[in-house]
Amino acid sequence: MSAEQTVRIGMLSFAHGHANSYAASLKQLPGVQITGIYDDDPTRGHTAADRFNTTFHANAETLLDENLDGVIICSENAHHAALVHLAAPKTRNILCEKPIATTLDDARAMIERCQSTGTQLQIAFPVRFSPTIQQLKAMLDDQQLGEVYAVKCTNHGSMPGGWFADPQLAGGGAVMDHTVHVIDLLRWFWKTEVTELYAEVGTGLLHPDLAIDDVGLLSFQLANGIYGTLDTSWSRPSSYPTWGDVKIEVVGEKGVVTVDAFRQALSVSANAWGKTRWVPWGSDMDLALIADFVEMIRTGRAPFISGEDGLRALEVAHAAYQSAASQRPISLAPANANPV
Which segments of the chain have a pLDDT < 70?
2-3, 241-244, 265-266, 273, 275-282, 333-340
CA angle 240, 246, 251 (to 5 degrees): 135
Query: How confident is the model at residue 283, as a pLDDT?
Result: 79
pLDDT (tens digit, 9 = 90+) per residue, 227-241?
A: 999 999 999 887 776
Which domain covers residue 96, as residue numbers?
Answer: 7-124
pLDDT (tens digit, 9 = 90+) per residue, 174-229?
A: 999 999 999 999 999 999 999 999 999 999 899 998 999 999 999 999 999 999 99
Residues 107 and 169 in one domain: no
Specify the pTM: 0.93
- Produce one character per residue of 285-299: b if its CB has 16 or more CB atoms within 10 Å, e if not: bbbbbbbbbbebbbe
Answer positive or negative: Cα dihedral of 200, 202, 205, 206: positive
Query: How confident is the model at residue 339, as a pLDDT?
Result: 38
Give DSSP secondary structure letters for 51-89.
HTT--EESSHHHHHTS--SEEEE-S-GGGHHHHHHHHTT
Burial of 163 (0-12, 13-18, 19+ CB in 10 A): middle
Residues 57 and 135 in one domain: no
In a domain, 298, yes or no: no
Residues 89 and 181 in one domain: no
213 beta partners: 203
In a domain, 134, yes or no: yes
Q: How many distinct structural domains can be found in the chain?
A: 2
C-alpha 12/C-alpha 308 separation (Å) is: 21
Here the CATH number for the domain that contains residue 138 is 3.30.360.10
In a domain, 289, yes or no: no
In a domain, 293, yes or no: no
For the chain, percent helix, then strand, then coil, each to nearest 5? 40, 30, 35
